[in-house]
Amino acid sequence: MIDLKAKPYNLSEEDIAWVKNTIAGMTDEEKVGQLFFQLTASQDEEYLKELMEKYHLGGCRYNGMPGEKVLAQNKILQKYAKIPVFIACNPEKGGDGVCSDGTMVGSGIKVGATGKTEYAEAMGLVSGAQIAATGCNMAFAPVVDILYNHECEEVLSRSFGNDPKRVASMGKAYMDGLHKTHGVAATAKHFPGNGQDYRDAHISNNINNFNHDEWMATYGHVYKTLIDGGLDAIMGGHILMPEFMKDVKPGITYEEMLPATLCYEIMTTLLRGELGFNGMVVTDASHMVGMTNQMKRKEMLPLSINAGCDMFLFFNDPDEDYNTMLDAYKNGVISEERMDEALSRILGLKAKMGLNKKTKEELCPAGEELPTILYNSEFKEYSPAISRDAITLVKSLDKDVLPLSPENTKRIMIVPIKGADNPMMALAQMAMGGGIQRKTPAQKLQERLQEKGFDVFIYESPLDKIKAMMARGEKPSLNLYFAGKNSIMDFVSEQDLVISLFDVMNGHPAFGLSKGGGEIPWYVHELPVVGISVNKPTMLADCPMIRTYINAYDSNDDTMDALVDALVTGDFRGKDPIDSFCGMWDTRV
């Protein structure tokens, strides 16, 4: 089922001979090691040496760190690898997914809002250059999921939108940009397609409800576009397809259904057979509950390979998982034919990337050009341009509100609205220097509006006042909580316009006060109110009463510059890449 002379490999006879001869010379232990991608936990050389020499890894992923450290680690990995190793990263928004000092270009949904494939290509181009500069060679990107369900937070900001044609064209453009850096492979995800189930496969099942024909016309179109364009690899998602499976396997019961990464009918019959994908497949992370809740782990590992996945993403316990897969191979659970096929794809892709023709010293760059590539001035120009073209005026029922001017609405109150506390986000911020005091989105917006001549103040909720009193060691006044109701006339007299600024990453807005006060925009018929989301673009579902609503997609400095320019000029260029009305009638009126 594999043709190394065809796309995406296009190998010469010499390269094919290298693949075959390398496989023929491998021990059982080395063969099994090539099936694994591992997430590294340390930059210690002895630890990295063990990964390569004890487990013979086919691929590695690492946690985020500066480019210099990424390059140093990658040099060690290749130094001890008998066969050159895939080193992957997650550049879904650009080079900031390669290393912490890489160049962010824009999220998928933000680029989707511009409607310009050249920006998607720029994401791939920047990613590819910074991948290669740090000694990496594979992108776990582009994300080509289609956002049909506004509650699907797993891919909400990562998808290019809800239109299969747009997702296909943007995904292919990203891949084309990535391929401009020779030797960097693209891995589209998450096959067979996320975006319908609100549940996150990290913690639950995830379901794609399309039947065969519906899937072929949507997700199938996306993947076929990339496959025909030379897609190197695919990441299989832990996604159940009940309606599809009923079509292709009549009589199947719900109890018999498996997520794609464990399902032969999806990963082999559909992907290899019907779509004709000849490239390499890696599973999504194997600690995700959408995979682990199906069966015992010792059964799950070999089944993923037999289903059609060529590589398995991440050990749980290295010795346990490695030996489980090794036993399955030695006992014939994984056949010689299936092992040879998986290895041919893995090594075939490494040959396509030219890794087989490089010395160990050549597999990673020396590093002299790393600062130039990480701080490339041309790369940094993409983000402001995307911000300018992405700001989206989704809803505008009060025609006299925009554009803003100091003459009409000089006094502006900004109401910051956060989401519920997310402990994982807090940990991530701490790891990235969260102790550094950074300006909030509200402060950034305040400064820029003041520069335009507005008088702007930031609303402080009663609960925030109570927290501040407690932080100072004072006894909090609970009367503050119940003092939210006041005269409408007094409230209206204090400002000319309110900006409800949503900075919600996940879940729903965490309104601390439900009676009166300024947090919930109950006053939309008393004062002009402009709702602006600087993260999650579906805030109308929670605040349908807002009559003017804008999606900015993030709160980067260049985004806030573009946002304020659009507010005062009325020049909103973005087109809603999803249904920001969330399929609800009351969000539109």
Q: Which residues are catalytic?
A: 284
Could you tell me which of 308, 311, 301 has the C-alpha nearest to residue 331? 301
Instruction: Select from 226, 237, 233, 208 the least CA-distant residue to 304.
Output: 237
Instruction: For residue 506, give the DSSP letter.
Output: S
Report residue 207: phi and psi, to 5°.
-125, 135
The whole-angstrom separation of Cα 483 and Cα 103 is: 46
User: Under 8 Å CB-to-CB from 586, ≥6 apart: which residues?
Assistant: 544
Q: Residue 94: which of 509, 393, 333, 385 has the closest Cα?
A: 385
Of 246, 433, 232, nearest to 346 by C-alpha is 232
244/237 Cα distance (integer angstroms): 15
Cα 366 from Cα 359, distance rounded (Å): 13
Cα separation, 360 vs 86, whole angstroms: 13
Residues 6-25 as b/e (b if ≥16 CB within 10 A, e otherwise) read: ebbbebeeebbebbeebbee
DSSP letter, residue 138:
E
For residues 88 and 136, the answer to whether their CB atoms sit within 8 Å is yes
Q: Which residues contact 311 (CB under 8 A, 6 or more apart)?
A: 34, 35, 36, 37, 58, 59, 280, 281, 282, 283, 342, 346
CA quadruple 401, 406, 409, 413: dihedral, nearest 10 = 110
DSSP characters over 143-196: B------TT-TTTTTTS--S-HHHHHHHHHHHHHHHTTSTT-EEEEEEET--SS
Q: Please tell me whether residue 23 adopts helix, strand or coil conformation.
A: helix
Is residue 278 a contact partner of residue 297, using CB atoms and an 8 Å limit? no
Which tokens go with 204? 């639950």
Taking Cα atoms as reference points, which of 544, 496, 503 lies closest to residue 394? 544
Residue 135 region, left (φ>0) first, then alpha (ψ -120 to 50), else beta?
left
* CA distances from residue 404 to 99, 397, 449, 566 in whole angstroms, order as listed: 39, 15, 10, 9
Residue 18 neighbours by CB under 8 Å, 6+ apart: 347, 351, 356
Question: Could you write out the DSSP letters of every residue in 218-250?
Answer: THHHHHHHHHHTT--EEEEP--B-HHHHHHHST
Tell the residue number behind the tokens 């063969």, with chain if given. Answer: 31
DSSP H helical segments within 452-528, as ranges?
462-471, 479-482, 488-493
